[in-house]
Amino acid sequence: MSSGIVVAPQPEAVEAGIDVFKRGGNVVDAAIAAAFVQTVVDPQMCGIAGFGSMQLFMPKQGGHFGIDFHGRAPKFSSETMWESLIERECDDGFGYVLKGRVNEIGYKSMTTPLTLKAFDLALKTYGSMPLSELMQSAINYCFNGFAIRPKMHAFWLAPEFAGRMSGVSRINSFEATSKIYLTEAGEVKKIGDIHKNPDMGEIYKRIAREGSEIFYSGEIAQRIEADMKKNGGLLRLEDLANCSVEDAKPLMGSYHGYEVATNQPPGGGLMILEMLNILENFDLISMGHNSASYIAVVSEAMKIATIDKDQRMGDPKYIDVPIEELSSKAYGKKMADRIKRGKKADVKRINAGNLESKDTTHLVAADSEGNVVNLTHSLGSSSGVVTDGLGFMYNNCMMVFDPRPGFPGSISPGKARFTAMCPTLLLKDGEVRLALGAPGGTTITMGVLQSIINVINFGMTAQEAVSAPRFCVTSNSIEVSNRIFRSVERDLQSFGYKTVRNPASYINPRVHAVKINKDGCLDGGADPVGDGMSAKVNILS
């Protein structure tokens, strides 16, 4: 008898996927059922009006392919529409603060919603159960409710920081949203309160019954356009009808004898390959895990990849991304030699002073036969907009476009912006040995990188790898979690590095991983920074 595993930041989603396995469903069925539940129980982190990236490894059903569903700028957007509104760039280079926060919240902040289309494609390609059945758990949570979890509550209570909108501002700025997420007294619900969303439930019932196209060209699409026109939004029926997901061949590399498969630009996979290629030139084991010398070397690799991301990565349909160069061993060695000579990379920012929101979600579903679905999906940090009666929230991915014309990340109709999402697989002898990914803005690539090193270089289990003390570098500062020794931090400062100590023991991103051993034994790890879990079950044949 084979076994299955689901790892995700939400226990409700994990249970939904496990239940599908119990009923004889495959990894795609389990992943899609879990993902739909995520859209209900983490409705500001992800949703059917969002975006994402997915890898599917199905050796007996056609092999290995990716589905990239990056949101694209609406037809009515333009390169210069926000040029005069710039206040500053986020410190991690992943978004801009504009006057009026028009790119961050409201009807102009959203790109084309592709999540539902991607889920449907995955299911039609490799699933074995109908959409109507796999959406049922999500529908039940809409009508019957679920208890507000600590992380969901923390999102709402997150204060304004350096000009960024507070968490509660995303649910109290629009009447249709407030009536779903606030109490009758206009207050934020408490941890443990039961949250229901019957409007979303009714829409999900219609999608389950009539299919996903109703969202893109049917009556739901018409209601979306009417709301956009009424409130000055950019999205139109034409954007919905013409948007499409990408059947993308995974970007391939290698690391210490393992094949590395990750996503194509504008996803963050190129950063993963670049950093691994740099670090392959160092004996990380002899340095000692999380020693000052180890952190300094890994941090320089992070900074180099961040600079290349800022200056050279983006949507290949609109800019020339030097994928071959940046993913090459030769480039990795060249950058490693710079580090060995003591040269420090300099990450430049415009009026920096703020971090990008880290609100996304991830899940991994796998079985002992070697089949894997590795999925990251998101709303960005969510627009706050809900069309009255539809229940779901829209993404705010316009936030990350560069409002300056003439740059790799500048706005253009139909263009996708860079995202650090990087669902990644490591393979040995043609079989997946590690599948992982994370939510967390630009911190995603940094957490995934460290978890790969933890497994491959230091032999950690999946849970050990995602739980180990982490650091993060997306600027010229090294952010260290509170479990990094202060003696190590002092050594880093003596090396000339600016450090920032995060008071939390576990910091973003929330990495989730599955290891598959040669004997098919499944080893799952859910990052303690979130509410998540890992669970296994025997699969009915």
Residue 95 is predicted with a pLDDT of: 77
Contact between 274 and 308 under an 8 Å Cβ cutoff? The reply is yes
Q: Does residue 540 register a pLDDT over 90?
A: no
Helix axes 443-456, 269-279, angle to 10 degrees: 40
Does a structural domain hold residue 499? yes
Scored b (16 or more CB within 10 A) or e, 398-423 reads bbbbbbbeeebbbbbebbbbbbbbbb
Residue 152 is predicted with a pLDDT of: 84
Does a structural domain hold residue 533? yes
Residue 326 is predicted with a pLDDT of: 98
Residue 157 is predicted with a pLDDT of: 77
User: What confidence tens digit (pLDDT) does each residue in 111-165 have?
Assistant: 999 999 999 999 999 999 999 999 999 999 999 999 999 888 887 877 654 445 6
Residue 91 is predicted with a pLDDT of: 63
Does a structural domain hold residue 231? no
Residue 358 is predicted with a pLDDT of: 53
Report how many domains make up the chain: 1
User: What confidence tens digit (pLDDT) does each residue in 380-390 have?
Assistant: 988 999 999 99
Q: Residue 185: pLDDT band by 50, 70, 90 thresholds?
A: confident
Does a structural domain hold residue 132? no
| CATH code assigned at 472 | 3.60.20.40
Max Cα distance, the chain (Å): 63
Range of 339's domain?
A: 248-354+421-538
User: What confidence tens digit (pLDDT) does each residue in 156-167 have?
Assistant: 877 654 445 656
Percent of the chain at pLDDT > 70 equals 95
Does a structural domain hold residue 520? yes
Torsion of the alpha carbons at 102, 103, 107 and 112, rounded to the nearest 10: 170
Global pTM reads 0.95
User: What confidence tens digit (pLDDT) does each residue in 231-256 have?
Assistant: 999 999 999 999 999 888 999 999 99
Does a structural domain hold residue 68? no
**Cα 47 from Cα 36, distance rounded (Å):** 8
Q: Residue 401: pLDDT band by 50, 70, 90 thresholds?
A: very high
Q: Edge-to-edge strand order for the sheet containing 477-480?
A: 471-472, 477-480, 498-501
Q: Does residue 9 register a pLDDT over 90?
A: yes
- What's the whole-number mean pLDDT along residues 161-188? 78
Please state whether the peptide bond connecting residue 266 to the residue before it is cis, i.e. omega within 30 degrees of 0: yes
Does a structural domain hold residue 202? no
Of 351 and 486, which is predicted with more confidence?
Answer: 486
Q: Residue 168: pLDDT band by 50, 70, 90 thresholds?
A: confident
Does a structural domain hold residue 87? no
User: What confidence tens digit (pLDDT) does each residue in 40-88 have?
Assistant: 999 989 999 999 999 999 998 878 999 999 999 999 999 999 999 998 8
**Active site (catalytic) residues:** 360
For the ranges 47-56, 167-176, 353-362, the lowest mean pLDDT is seen at: 353-362
20, containing H or E segment:
helix 11-22
User: What confidence tens digit (pLDDT) does each residue in 405-460 have?
Assistant: 999 999 999 999 999 999 999 999 999 999 999 998 889 999 999 999 999 999 99
